[in-house]
Amino acid sequence: MAQNAIVINVDIGETRVALIENGIIAELAVERRRSRSLVGNIYLGKVTRVLPGMQAAFVDVGLDRAAFLHVSDVIRPEDLANLAGEDGDDDEDEGSTDGREPRVRRIDKSTPIREVLKEGQSIVCQISKGPISTKGARVTSHVSLPGRYVVYMPLDDSIGISKRIGNDRERARLREAIESMRPPQGGLVVRTVAAGLTKKQLRADIGYLVKLWGDIMKSQKEVTRAPALIYEDLDIILRAARDHFGVEVDKIVIDDEREYTRLKQFATSFMAERAEAIELYTGDEPIFDEYGIEDEIGRALSRKVPLPSGGHLIIDQAEALTAIDVNTGRFVGRTKDVDETILQTNLEAVKEIAYQLRFRNIGGLIVLDFIDMERPQHRDKVHKALVEAFKTDKAKTTTVRISELGLVEMTRKRTRDSLGRQLNEPCFYCDGTGQLQSKETICHEIVRQIRREKDSIQGYKIVVNAHPAVADFLNHEERDALHEIQRRFARTVVVQGRKDYHLEQFDLQGA
């Protein structure tokens, strides 16, 4: 397996992209024909509801559910109107306008939303977070167009350099270069991959993005009715090349000839120096099997994740948060010092947790339940290791110190559904609860129901229709209860198994 590569599997109706870092599958993205990613798309939306109590509005952009727009993400209509008359990501850091008068004023979150939005109003907005679970998409009026080397923000005048470019001299050089070629309208953020680039390469990327924004504004003028799609971002294949195909990635391997040709043409136009590093996979074995990715996907969907020493993690993803429990399992340590054994297990867990959260793309609120550590220095060591482990994660993470109970609360930025929710669906049998009533519980419920309905059931016999497993339990393990019912109510009870019934389903009828 290549140490650093992007592996793309193009199948009928589904495309999967795996990012391999240091020989390990670090990220997996899945896009299906019927559920393409919407993040980055620009729409002309229509405000359907304004909610002053939430300082937000719901915007119809043509999706199944209305999108959510917070007041801090709104641009004043007069500012947008002025810009419309002109020609014209997580890599971002805090930029500055460097003395230039800003053309778009950021709206303070305390500004009453009814001052800037009203129901029925049309508004240009970009999806910043796709629909997740039962929640609709989140949108913003502050449009950003990512290119290969820079992110162009046509409605913002700030300049920023990626936080991941750590060399101060290189940051200063890039800031000076970008200042000399900034467009008359808009701001720029230099992406990590731009480190070491020449002005010519940066200027070409900026020119393309400025032209793209001009085309988007023309498309907006041609739209006569909202909601409407104005601009659709790149698909998953070209997006992977644009966002991840840096100098640290050795190659892209793709298994579809048609998409290989399209990817080559894209690379030749926008990153000619990397075009030769794109390979067409022609092996007989499926590409994800060849690279061992299928096995890793199966592991990523498992609730229990083993640790090298013999301990394990339990990962439970709920609606409100994700809980991760660390257990020693069969690991008893190599010394008699119990505290050292616990420390080693927790440090192993830190590495695996960071990997699993990134690979599964789990976001939102996360609670980590480490094994209790008595020594404060051990808790500090585990917390420092946790912070260090997330430094390579491109999603923004925030962690708090380990509590006395061994718990860590953290958040990880979420822009799309997790891998588990993309590939799985709630169990149709238990309705996603993961539990069913026991057969004994159902039998007692049947007895109570007979008591309730005995006077309304016609005939001498009471027929109980239930799942075969429940019927068998009632006829054998609970036969004494059945006899007591017949004696007490002077009715014959006949139990019939129905294969088409749910385990918890039953009904009564007379005969």
Domain span(s) for CATH 3.30.420.60 in the chain: 5-35+238-294
Structure tokens at 495: 């139990």
Q: The pTM is what?
A: 0.78
Domain span(s) for CATH 2.40.50.140 in the chain: 42-232
Cα distance between residue 26 and residue 249, in whole Å = 12
pLDDT of residue 90: 45
Helix, coil or strand: residue 246: coil
Angle, CA 392 vertex, CA 186 and CA 376 arms, to 5°? 125
407: Cβ–Cβ under 8 A, 6 or more apart, which residues?
Answer: 367, 368, 369, 370
Helix, coil or strand: residue 359: helix
Distance between first and last Cα of the chain: 69
The second-level CATH assignment, the architecture, of 439-510 is: 3-Layer(aba) Sandwich (3.40)
pLDDT of residue 394: 82
Bridge partners (DSSP) of residue 412 are 364, 397
Cα distance between residue 9 and residue 17, in whole Å = 6
Domain span(s) for CATH 3.40.630 in the chain: 302-423
Cα distance between residue 91 and residue 84, in whole Å = 27
**What is the DSSP code (8-state) at residue 251?**
E
User: What are the distances in angstroms from CA 231 to CA 61, 125, 203, 343, 388?
Assistant: 12, 10, 23, 51, 38
Whether CATH 2.40.50.140 fits 42-232 = yes
Listed residue (196, 57, 243) closest to 136, CA to CA = 57
Listed residue (35, 96, 107, 102) closest to 70, CA to CA = 107
181 in Cβ contact with 215 (< 8 Å)? no
Collect the ranges in the chain with pLDDT lower than 50.
83-90, 92-99, 101
Q: How many CB atoms lie within 10 A of CB 162?
A: 22
> What radius of gyration, in Å, describes the C-alpha atoms of the chain?
29
pLDDT of residue 300: 76
Cα distance between residue 483 and residue 457, in whole Å = 19
- Quote the crossing angle between the two packed helices 468-475 and 439-453, to the nearest 10°: 80
Cα distance between residue 35 and residue 29, in whole Å = 12
Cα distance between residue 94 and residue 72, in whole Å = 16
The second-level CATH assignment, the architecture, of 302-423 is: 3-Layer(aba) Sandwich (3.40)
**What is the DSSP code (8-state) at residue 433?**
S
Peptide bond into 227 cis (omega under 30): yes
Phi, psi of 359 (to 5 degrees): -65, -40
Q: How many CB atoms lie within 10 A of CB 404?
A: 9
329 in Cβ contact with 312 (< 8 Å)? yes
Structure tokens at 442: 């159902």
Cα distance between residue 244 and residue 389, in whole Å = 20
Domain span(s) for CATH 3.40.1260.20 in the chain: 439-510
Class of domain 5-35+238-294: alpha beta
